[in-house]
Structure 1
Amino acid sequence: MREELKFMGKIVIKTPEQIDGIRKSSKLAAQALDFAEQFVRPGVNTEFIDDKIDEFVRSHGAISATKGYNGYPKSSCISLNDVICHGIPSKTTVLKEGDILNIDVTTILDGYYGDTSRMFTVGEITEEADRLIETTLHCLDLGIEQVKPGNRFGNIGFVINRYAKAKGYSVVYEFCGHGVGVDFHEEPQVDHASRRNSGPEMRPGMIFTIEPMINQGKPKAVIDRNDGWTARTIDKRLSAQFEHTILVTQTGYEVLTDIHNDYPIT
């Protein structure tokens, strides 16, 4: 959310009890995205999808972290096409053939936070949109591969930015990943475009998100003046994003929001 660039304080090293709680919340957030997929169809409005996500999360004993957060009105962020992030679900935003969208869910389960997002497609999409989505997912994968004790956070953004630029895309720099788990937004700030070997060292027990936002055109975002949240590309070109919550282990990483075994525990 908007406060991702305003952290204060130290990076929290989570205890085993906290890690267990964050792991459970993270898995629930990922399950909510799987549940939402069935509703991503032409003619469906995004408020309906948000309502279904809210029902699912509450039925599992959790609540949404976004609803009421600094006045944000909904239980998820649903960002279509040229919306980079923080798209507010509404009855008037109706999915149509060829749309691409990111759904972002953060759950609070027993006081612990889990945060994840991924891209969805509506019917047949263009080759350009498909390439953007594929590149963005690979950017996330490259960032995750950098997670290990002793490495520096700047290397996450370094490899993401290098790859995205090589593919002809730009990396949004106005929003970032962040520590998460015992609060919604914690230290560290995880930039997706940064200098090699910059930033704090990773240590076992740190938990944070990596959530690259990759644009077809220029990297800059424009915030909607009416709602104060919706961030769009300045040139109206497409944007894509994927996000996982990741734990630094003793030897590598565990992707806490991975419920499909896409990532090994290292």
Structure 2
Amino acid sequence: MVEIKTPEQIAKMREAGLVVAAVHAATREAAVPGATTKDLDDVARKVLAEHGAKSNFLGYGGFPATICTSVNDVVVHGIPDTTTVLQDGDIISIDAGAIVDGWHGDAAFTAFVGSGHAPELVELSRVTEESMWAGLAAVRKGNRLVDVSKAIEGYIRRQPRPSSGKYGIVEDYGGHGIGSEMHMDPHLLNYVDRRRGRGPRFVPGFCLAVEPMINLGTPKTHVLEDEWTVKTNDGGWSSHWEHTIAVTEEGPFVLTAVDGGRAKLAEYGVEIAPDPLG
């Protein structure tokens, strides 16, 4: 069952999305050499408190932190701690969420720590982010879920191969419906699986978190003993980008982007709806 939201509920999700954007801005600034991932978690916790919002990660299935901090070969669900110290040249994916009056926002980005990053890491993040926007551009009234998977995979496959050989599209994790809960139906693959059919059709009130995860190398991953941290099998570094988008009568709107996705979606010829908050 797909949860269809009213305009008023989407407006609440926009409030949550703007809190997520504020968390992103603050943690991006704090992701510097010498900072611990726990430092970033503390920053996120403070921003949420300032906005009167709650973390939708803390306590979720027992997750012990406010945000996920995934460094280098960690794909997703990295747990912030005091022993992981960011180093010059690292990359870190920060996944953050917020709850406002029971409605959720969820988004992630990959940041570069310090300087001197290898060109293939810069390209990895760019390809991951752009594949996300290609997917978001496909979230339009009348399209189906598979159109998003097709757009994400298609963009990735069209890019020149990295020196490590290939981009591994992570298969075990993907996007999801979102609204009154953080993870809801439907599950969104970042590649096309013909066996799954075309998926539901997008109608006004449909909200989706689009989040490609791409590795430099194999797509295969494993979970550490903490039962959360997901790493690549071959040690290749990974990038993760995510935004939450709503379908409305007047068009799509990216709830976790400050500008609603206007600038990036315009590159795909997509005009966004007015801001749900007016």
Aligned partner (choices 101, 117, 123) of residue 108 of structure 2: 117
**Which ranges of 4 or more aligned residues in structure 1 deviate by more than 3 Å?**
none
State the distance in 2 between where 1:172 and 1:228 align.
18
Give the letter aligned to residue 204 of structure 1: P
Partner of 1:218: 218
**Could you list the runs of 5+ residues in structure 2 that have no partner in the other structure?**
162-166, 263-270, 274-278
CA contact under 8 A between 1:42 and 1:97: conserved in structure 2?
A: yes
1:179–1:189 Cα contact (<8 Å) kept: yes
Shift of 1:20: 1.0
Which amino acid counterpart does residue 160 of structure 1 have in structure 2? I
Shift of 1:80: 0.7
Kept after mapping to 2: 8 A contact 1:164/1:170: no
RMSD of aligned residue pairs (Cα, Å): 1.4
Amino acid at match of 1:133: S
SS at match of 1:56: helix
Equivalences for 1:92-131 in 2 at 5 Å?
Answer: 92-124=83-115, 125-131=117-123
Deviation digits for residues 15-54 of structure 1 (CA, Å, limit 9, x no counterpart): 1221111110011111111011221110110001101111
Partner residue in 2 for 1:12: 3
Give me the whole-angstrom Cα distance separating, in 2, the residues matched to 1:191 and 1:46. 28
Shift of 1:251: 4.8
Alignment of 1:88-167 (within 5 A): 88-124=79-115, 125-167=117-159
Structure-1 residue corresponding to 2:201? 201
Distance in structure 1 (CA, Å) of the matches to 2:46 and 2:10: 25
The equivalent of 2:258 in structure 1 is: 259
1:42 aligns with 2:33: yes
1:67-106 CA-to-partner distances (Å, cap 9, x unmatched) read 1111100000010111110000111100000011111111
The separation in 2 between residues aligned to 1:138 and 1:36, in whole angstroms, is 21
* Contact residue 32 and residue 105 of structure 1 kept, 8 A: yes
Asked if 1 retains the 8 angstrom alpha-carbon contact of 2:134 and 2:151, the reply is yes
- C-alpha separation in 2, matches of 1:209 and 1:191: 11
CA distance in 2, matches of 1:155, 1:170: 20
CA distance in 1, matches of 2:21, 2:220: 28
**Residue 55 (structure 1) shift:** 1.4
Q: Does 90-99 or 30-39 show the bigger shift? A: 30-39
Shift of 1:232: 0.7
State the number of aligned residues: 256
Partner in structure 1 of residue 276 of structure 2: none
Q: Is the 8 A contact 2:253 2:261 kept in 1?
A: no
In 2: Cα distance, 1:39 partner to 1:184 partner:
25
5+ residue gaps, structure 1: 1-9
Answering whether residue 84 of structure 2 is matched by residue 83 of structure 1, we say no
Offset of residue 199 of structure 1: 1.2
Q: Which residue number corresponds to residue 226 of structure 2?
A: 227
* 8 Å contact kept, 1:99–1:121: yes
| Equivalent AA in structure 1 for residue 113 of structure 2 | V
1:80-134 CA distance string (max 9 Å, x none): 1111100001111000000111111111111111101111111111111001011
Shift in CA distance, 261/200, structure 1 to aligned 2, threshold 3 Å? closer
Q: Partner of 2:141: helix, strand, or coil?
A: coil
> Aligned partners of 2:22, 2:39: CA distance in 1, in Å?
18
Mapped partners of 1:261, 1:183: distance in 2: 21
2:246 is paired with a residue whose SS is strand
Instruction: Give the structure-1-normalised TM-score.
Output: 0.92
Match of 1:208, SS?
strand
Conserved 8 A contact 2:22-2:47: no
CA displacement at 1:56 relative to structure 2: 1.1
**Superposition deviation, residue 227 in structure 1:** 0.5
- How far apart, in 2, do the equivalents of 1:204 and 1:252 lie? 8
